[in-house]
Chain A
Amino acid sequence: MEKLRRTMLYVPGNNAGMVKDAHIYRSDSVMFDLEDSVSLSEKDSARLLIFNALKTLDYEGIETVVRINGLDTPFGVDDIKAMVRAQPDIIRIPKADSADDIKAVEVLIEKEEKLAGLKVGTIKLMAAIEGPLGVLNAYSIATASKRMIGLAIGAEDYVTNMKTKRSPGGVEILFARSQIVTAARAAGIYALDTVYSDVNNEEGFLEEVRLIKQLGFDGKSVISPRQIAPVHKIYTPSQKDIDFALRVIEVIKEANEKGSGVISLDGKMVDKPIVDRAERVIAMAKASGIQFDEEDDK
Chain B
Amino acid sequence: MRVVKTGIAGTLESSDVMITVSENTSTGINIELHSIVEKQFGKQIRKVIKEKMEELDISDATVSVNDKGALDCTICARLEAATYRAAGIKHVRWEEK
Closest CB of chain B to A114's CB: distance in Å? Answer: 12
Number of interface residues of B (CB under 8 A): 26
Instruction: Enumerate B1-60 residues with CB–CB distance to A below 8 Å.
Output: 9-11, 13-17
Closest CB of chain B to A59's CB: distance in Å? Answer: 13
Contact with B along A250-268 (1 / 0, CB 8 A): 0000000000000000000
Inside 8 A of A14's CB, which chain B residues have their CB?
11
Pair A78/B92 contact, Cβ less than 8 Å? yes
**In-complex Cβ contact of B73 among A15, A45, A53, A82 (8 A):** A53
Inside 8 A of A19's CB, which chain B residues have their CB?
74
Pair B94/A52 contact, Cβ less than 8 Å? no
Pair B71/A20 contact, Cβ less than 8 Å? yes
**In-complex Cβ contact of B84 among A44, A55, A57, A85 (8 A):** A44
Interchain Cβ contacts within 8 Å, total number: 69
Chain A residue at smallest Cβ distance from B93: A81
Chain A residue at smallest Cβ distance from B72: A56
Pair B9/A16 contact, Cβ less than 8 Å? no
Chain B residue at smallest Cβ distance from A15: B13
- Give the interface residue-count category, chain A: 20 to 34
Pair A81/B95 contact, Cβ less than 8 Å? yes
Chain A residue at smallest Cβ distance from B81: A45
Contact with A along B55-70 (1 / 0, CB 8 A): 0000000000000001
Pair B91/A51 contact, Cβ less than 8 Å? no
Inside 8 A of B97's CB, which chain A residues have their CB?
51, 85
Chain B residue at smallest Cβ distance from A57: B73
A49 at the B interface (CB under 8 A): yes
A115 at the B interface (CB under 8 A): yes
Q: How far is the CA of A16 from the CA of B10 in the complex (A)?
A: 9
Instruction: List chain A positions with a Cβ less than 8 A from chain B.
Output: 14-17, 19-21, 44-45, 47-49, 51-53, 55-57, 78, 81-82, 85, 112, 115-116
Instruction: List chain B positions with a Cβ less than 8 A from chain A.
Output: 9-11, 13-17, 70-74, 76-78, 80-81, 84-85, 90-92, 94-95, 97
